[in-house]
């Protein structure tokens, strides 16, 4: 389980706060199902800074990070950045689920995918 003290900086903290107020429609739809312990009683948080990164959704009890990716994540430069980021987070003990924005259109399948990876 992730037990490290937070090591984010003031910039990432402020950026995370801004991202919470400017969620995409895809993030809003998934957040509806994850918030307030609606998903199997698990506590999820959104736009959480960890180190120099901000993760979309995190369930610390299950060491799970959920990232919603748009088409920009398919570009080579972004793919390399994501791989470096994932390695950093995995070294902290997290499992990362990457879900494409378009997959949110079938929210039941997405929720089943998340369930399969945590329960």
3-state secondary structure of 68: strand
Whether 68 is covered by a domain: the verdict is yes
Whether 2 is covered by a domain: the verdict is no
Res 30 pLDDT > 80: yes
pLDDT tier at 20, thresholds 50, 70, 90: low
Q: For strands 64-69 and 95-100, give the pairing.
A: parallel
58 pairs with which residues across the strands?
45, 65
**φ, ψ for residue 46 (rounded to 5)?**
-125, 150
Whether 106 is covered by a domain: the verdict is yes
Percent of the chain with pLDDT over 90: 69
Whether 53 is covered by a domain: the verdict is yes
Query: What length does the chain have?
Result: 119
CA distances from 104 to 5, 51, 62, 84, 94 (A): 32, 27, 21, 25, 22
Res 4 pLDDT > 70: no
Whether 67 is covered by a domain: the verdict is yes
Whether 7 is covered by a domain: the verdict is no
- Residue 44's domain comprises 23-118
3-state secondary structure of 92: coil
The mean pLDDT of the chain is 86
Q: Residue 83 maps to which CATH number?
A: 3.40.960.10
pLDDT tens-digit series, residues 55-74: 999 999 999 999 999 866 55
Structural domain total, the chain: 1
Whether 16 is covered by a domain: the verdict is no
52 or 6, which is more confident:
52
The whole model's pTM is what?
0.82
């Amino acid at each position: 389980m992730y037990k490290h003290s937070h090591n984010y900086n003031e910039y990432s903290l402020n950026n995370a706060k801004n991202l919470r107020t400017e969620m995409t429609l895809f993030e809003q739809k998934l957040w509806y199902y994850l918030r307030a312990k609606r998903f199997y009683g698990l506590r999820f948080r959104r736009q959480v800074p960890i180190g120099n990164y901000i993760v979309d959704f995190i369930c610390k009890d299950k060491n799970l990070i959920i990232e919603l990716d748009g088409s920009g994540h398919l570009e080579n430069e972004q793919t390399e950045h994501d791989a470096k980021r994932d390695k950093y987070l995995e070294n902290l003990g997290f499992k990362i689920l990457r879900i494409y924005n378009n997959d949110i259109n079938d929210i039941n399948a997405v929720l089943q995918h998340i369930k399969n990876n945590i329960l």
